[in-house]
Structure 1
């Protein structure tokens, strides 16, 4: 498989008005997606203060407010070459102006909201083909995403699932994401919303995939499609199902409890790294250990 030359930055998000509500969890009604520390890292990886960054607000139900929030946040970092792509349907995604802008930017940022909007709007479009092509072939091209924008990065994508009943068969719904990464499943708001069971069920049903649970104000920087560094203030939870010896998930009726033997869990804090291909944890940068 081709080694990507670009970089991915997946962020666990923060509670906000533009994110789909989840039962039993209170929405804070604010637009603080993540601290400026992570936003600064995105700016740096895109090329610095003069980087041309396109923010894609398609996942959000309030794209104008979300877009303005990003302009304000990047502005605090003196990064002003930031534009908002207000793409609300597949027709918008085929607009020649949008195609031209995506060909010429240094990086893209997918906002939070509903990840199913992202897969249904961009799946199979030239817009997505260009982003994917640039990610695989251009040094320095960055794809970032927070919350829904992070979850949509993988080929296998959770689009629905109760946290409280997540280890009952059928409670977690999976579809195909934007497929910048394969053999991973990404979940966001992971610690605060108690989504351990949700990601565990997804991995049990797809044990070739590694689960990546992103806490809020926390993310991962992925290089070469495999070397993952934890960034931000919280935790990244890795759920590895490659060595599962037993699970009853295939034989159960809907709504029945799932059993799983020998699933492996790693917890990463800022600066810790993980090699997705070798499935190895590193206390410090992977490059220092190669």
Structure 2
């Protein structure tokens, strides 16, 4: 595991920010932490990256004990925060060389690493221009490139695409996918639910300092009512036979479809098709409709938010 955490707690006075947080993040994966403002996402990143100390609990990050070996944790990770750490008075190349010096790379290795990262992040043409002239997307790419100078095996990305236009956001997604393909683990916090849906292998929803749900995007979507399997048939006669076999699900005669409530899981689909086979009914088309992550987010966090 890239991260294991048990019972992490953090309070500021009477305000509880994290209340017994447990996490397990697999190596070489994207783990997304979702939650409303104030849920504790950034505090979680700050604790796991050794920027602040938890009040309680234990954690191992990249094989190093969080409290016993914080220097080992810092050597193995990179952190890209919500706001760019780029020095806008320096050029892109100078920012990367500065990071190479801080990582104690020799001059030759520093130049080689700088050139490689400028190429990888499509910044070669802008390498010798002041970062102040960069667009938001270019600055975020440079920020992430600077994080990679030390070759981290685990990167914390705290809302990395905030404020970016859709094209720049998709470019960052491709960069993140490439990093994971190279074996890097990504711990992502985001308020863009589509971003988590697109990138994450597993998603955890944090609210009021506690995890309220965790799983793949598909698993989380099946937690929320409203899912159904839509069956389409070749003609009205087959539609009638199917409706009778399935006990009268919602039907649309104009489109020759039936909507059967359910989560669309493998077991449900198998049982559904078996019933139709037993009735000698052929299905022309089948599609699974589940709530999206917006529905999941609101269902899991709205009730708690209203109670606070």
Same structural fold, with TM-score higher than 0.5 when normalized by the shorter chain: no
TM-score by structure 1 length?
0.35
Larger radius of gyration: 2
TM-score by structure 2 length?
0.33
